[in-house]
Amino acid sequence: MPKTRLDTARIRAARRVIDPVFLDTPLYRCEALEPGLGCTVSIKLETANPIRSFKARGTELVASRLADRASRAVVCASAGNLGQALAWSGRRRELNVTVVASRLATRVKLDRIRALGAGLELVDGDHEMARERAAAIARYDGIRLVEDSLDIETCEGAATIGLELVDSAPSFDTVLIALGGGALATGVGHVLKAMAPGVEVICVQPLGAPALTLSWRQRRVVTTDSADTIADGVAGRYPIPAVLDDLLLVADDAVLVREESIVAGMRLLLDHAGLVVEPSAALGIAAILEDRDRFAGRHVVTIVCGSNVDADAYHHWVRSTPHHHKP
Amino acid sequence: MPKTRLDTARIRAARRVIDPVFLDTPLYRCEALEPGLGCTVSIKLETANPIRSFKARGTELVASRLADRASRAVVCASAGNLGQALAWSGRRRELNVTVVASRLATRVKLDRIRALGAGLELVDGDHEMARERAAAIARYDGIRLVEDSLDIETCEGAATIGLELVDSAPSFDTVLIALGGGALATGVGHVLKAMAPGVEVICVQPLGAPALTLSWRQRRVVTTDSADTIADGVAGRYPIPAVLDDLLLVADDAVLVREESIVAGMRLLLDHAGLVVEPSAALGIAAILEDRDRFAGRHVVTIVCGSNVDADAYHHWVRSTPHHHKP
């Protein structure tokens, strides 16, 4: 049993708090993908819900705990998916939700945050600047700050995906998990290591935003000066020490993939699985494409974690011919 | 309680036979669609499974009953989705499956039927010719013929979708159901009329393939000389009398929609819900687009029944500008 910050009994209890619309998501083998990948591939699909990502599993916990408090205000920084999730979970509990995002964030994510009734503050700079600003707002206003991957609710929420995987009587060898702040990887990884320790946990991050992967490899926090990837959902630069500690306990490997592989993964998922995914959700397929020998003959689960894309950017990615994409 | 050929207790029992990968599919409100449609819209998503359509709910019943018999051979005609489903359900029970399809059927559907190990026989002419040929094979070889919408298993399987809708404690006013052979409409319609009689059941068919809708309106079987629609999954010409009898008992209305509305529906589902759908699965959205006043302010569920599309045709449909599509 890994000694992470997570606790399996608490994760099970979390299932009773999360709106069922986000739970028990489809898990199915997708044979049409397999000739192109050389292994058995199952999809855990986290996009068929009101916010098109897994993030509400965590914000449901945050919001339900806040709903009992005197202060009903909450702020988070978000590349767009956490913000939508917190807006959705907060709206139904009449919380006052503020989301801070980069002015460069994916437009449709910002539009959806506004449409869900949250206050949206845009900052110049990248997601790390949004994190700083959100923390400042929380301090100044004395309200709850939700820090993705640091706050245990975000990890426990993501970890409920792990429970669904192990409860499916797993026949799989490996789970591929998009690595951003680390909530998804440490959450799902904790459950797998606790309940299905034979299953390999592989985290996947873009080469252009490698901070947490480099940190995992060096066993100490490594920051980067910039992040350059289309996978906006995982483009962090400042790993959180406590999250790295957990990741070191649960990840068997952390790999980096090229932008062109992410695009090829999105295209495969569209053409052979009929799935629209955002770049972060194609990281697992990208990892297989970059190292077919490693996965040959194995049964791999990839968590399709979000599908919030700008339509024009998406069509540009998936319909361009592969040689137009440079890493 | 409608006196159809279906029985609610048998439908409930069917859930225990169908592989769980096809059951309890996502049902969720999709607010991003709503500004474009003027009503509250929920999606019942039948595409996130190994065959990307609802059809395996029925073929699981067919195949499990055949698995106990001496004769382990079965044949069906299919536009492509029933064939994939029967191939999938038959393969795991070691049945000998033959699928008869039109040479003009969607290529990726035919490819998937072959990949799933079924024998595939192509006929010149349309789906009705395939039905004739499948019946001839069954007679000649003395094997089980699966007739979509006539065979009660296909209706009971589809009807399990209805159970999931009513078990969700429905807040919806209307369910929009693609109308082809009629299994989906009579199955879901039976359960709704039996268990949630206040919910309106509206069937939707393309103007270019209107045979069952015309039959419902005239309360007698009306055949057509041709079917001309991109919605290949519902392009029948010869309604089955027993199915029409049931449809007359459960449908509140049957409407016809233009091809350009089907394309507009596919595009809305892609751009605002992130869903790839085949044309038949966009019929419900098309019906709203053609009669916004009728649905204004109501809560409508549309069953997204399949996503098997040829990639090139799909991209042509969804990326063309609307004025390129003539009805």
pLDDT tens digit string along B156-165? 999 999 999 9
Is residue A3 included in any domain, yes or no?
no
Is residue B200 included in any domain, yes or no?
yes
Q: Which residues of B touch A308 (CB under 8 A)?
A: 274
**Where a domain ends, among B88, B120, B146?**
B146
* Residue B53 β-bridge partners: B306
Measured CA to CA, the distance from residue B73 to residue B141 in angstroms comes to: 9
- Residue A324 reports pLDDT greater than 80: no
Q: Which residues of B touch A47 (CB under 8 A)?
A: 274
Is residue B3 included in any domain, yes or no?
no
Q: Which residues of B touch A309 (CB under 8 A)?
A: 274
Sheet of B73-77: strands edge to edge? B119-123, B96-102, B73-77, B144-146
- Residue B1 reports pLDDT greater than 80: no
| In the block, residue with structure tokens 């799902």 | A188
Is B112 within 8 Å of chain A by CB?
Answer: yes
Measured CA to CA, the distance from residue A193 to residue A282 in angstroms comes to: 23
Cβ distance B27 to A21 less than 8 Å, yes or no, reads: yes
- Residue A13 reports pLDDT greater than 50: yes
**Where a domain ends, among B146, B175, B191?**
B146
Q: Which of B160, B135, B128, B132 is nearest to B55 (CA)?
A: B160
Same domain for A49 and A60?
no
Which of B19, B28, B111, B116 to mutate: most A Cβ within 10 Å? B28
Written as six digits, the tokens of A151 are 């706050």
pLDDT-derived band of residue B220, with 50, 70 and 90 as boundaries? Answer: very high
pLDDT (tens digit per residue) in B14-34: 999 999 999 999 999 999 999
Same domain for A142 and A67?
yes
Same domain for A64 and A99?
yes
| In the block, residue with structure tokens 């010409």 | B237
Q: Where is B133: in which H helix or E strand?
A: helix B127-141
Measured CA to CA, the distance from residue A212 to residue B197 in angstroms comes to: 55
The structure's pTM equals 0.96
- Residue B71 reports pLDDT greater than 90: no
pLDDT (tens digit per residue) in A128-146: 999 999 999 999 999 999 9
Q: What is the ipTM of this complex?
A: 0.95
Residue A238: what are its φ and ψ, rounded to 5°?
Answer: -115, 90
pLDDT (tens digit per residue) in B258-288: 999 999 999 999 999 999 999 999 999 999 9
- Residue A61 reports pLDDT greater than 50: yes
pLDDT at B77: 98
Is residue B274 included in any domain, yes or no?
yes
Q: Which of A244, A236, A230 is nearest to A308 (CA)?
A: A230
Same domain for B91 and B111?
yes
pLDDT-derived band of residue A319, with 50, 70 and 90 as boundaries? Answer: confident
- Give the Cβ contact number of residue A253 at 10 Å: 15
pLDDT at B221: 98
- Residue B134 reports pLDDT greater than 90: yes
Range(s) of the domain holding residue A94:
56-146
pLDDT (tens digit per residue) in A73-82: 999 999 999 9
* CATH number of the domain to which A299 belongs: 3.40.50.1100
pLDDT-derived band of residue A282, with 50, 70 and 90 as boundaries? Answer: very high
pLDDT-derived band of residue B321, with 50, 70 and 90 as boundaries? Answer: low
**Where a domain ends, among B115, B146, B177?**
B146
Instruction: Measure CA of the first residue to CA of the last residue in chain B; give whole Å.
Output: 39
pLDDT (tens digit per residue) in A153-165: 999 999 999 999 9
pLDDT at A321: 61
pLDDT-derived band of residue A322, with 50, 70 and 90 as boundaries? Answer: low
- Residue B191 reports pLDDT greater than 80: yes
DSSP notation for B100-118: EEETTS-HHHHHHHHHTT-
Which of B21, B168, B299, B308 to mutate: most A Cβ within 10 Å? B21
Same domain for B287 and B247?
yes
Same domain for A104 and A14?
no
Same domain for B30 and B88?
no
pLDDT at A2: 79
pLDDT at A313: 94
Same domain for B127 and B240?
no
Measured CA to CA, the distance from residue B51 to residue B20 in angstroms comes to: 13
- Residue B327 reports pLDDT greater than 70: no
- Residue B84 reports pLDDT greater than 60: yes
Do the beta carbons of residue A284 and residue A265 sit within 8 Å?
yes
Measured CA to CA, the distance from residue A209 to residue A222 in angstroms comes to: 11
Measured CA to CA, the distance from residue A267 to residue A250 in angstroms comes to: 30
Q: Where is B266: in which H helix or E strand?
A: helix B259-273
Cβ distance A32 to B112 less than 8 Å, yes or no, reads: yes
Is residue B304 included in any domain, yes or no?
yes
pLDDT (tens digit per residue) in A85-95: 999 999 999 99
Chains A–B, number of C-beta pairs less than 8 Å apart: 63
Same domain for A139 and A256?
no
pLDDT-derived band of residue A40, with 50, 70 and 90 as boundaries? Answer: very high
Is residue B194 included in any domain, yes or no?
yes
pLDDT-derived band of residue B166, with 50, 70 and 90 as boundaries? Answer: very high
pLDDT (tens digit per residue) in B226-245: 999 999 999 999 999 999 99
Is B280 within 8 Å of chain A by CB?
Answer: no
- Residue B120 reports pLDDT greater than 90: yes
A34 to chain B: closest CA residue: B115
Measured CA to CA, the distance from residue B99 to residue B134 in angstroms comes to: 8
pLDDT-derived band of residue B324, with 50, 70 and 90 as boundaries? Answer: very low
Is residue B2 included in any domain, yes or no?
no
Residue B310's identity, in one-letter code, is D
Q: Average pLDDT in the A294-300 region?
A: 97
Is residue A1 included in any domain, yes or no?
no
Pairing between β-strand A299-304 and β-strand B27-29 as defined by DSSP bridges: unpaired
pLDDT at B323: 46
B275 to chain A: closest CA residue: A276
Helices (H), chain A: 8-14, 34-37, 56-66, 81-91, 107-115, 127-141, 152-167, 183-195, 211-218, 241-250, 259-273, 283-290, 292-295, 311-319
- Mean pLDDT across chain A: 95
- Residue A323 reports pLDDT greater than 60: no
Same domain for A67 and A115?
yes
The 8 Å CB, 24+ separation contacts for A120-126 are A120/A83, A126/A102, A126/A226, A126/A227, A126/A235, A126/A237
Give me the number of domains chain B comprises.
Answer: 2
- Mean pLDDT across chain B: 95
Q: Which residues of A touch B25 (CB under 8 A)?
A: 26
pLDDT at A152: 98
Q: Where is B121: in which H helix or E strand?
A: strand B119-123
Same domain for B203 and B316?
yes
Same domain for A127 and A163?
no
pLDDT-derived band of residue B181, with 50, 70 and 90 as boundaries? Answer: very high
pLDDT at A181: 97
pLDDT at B204: 98
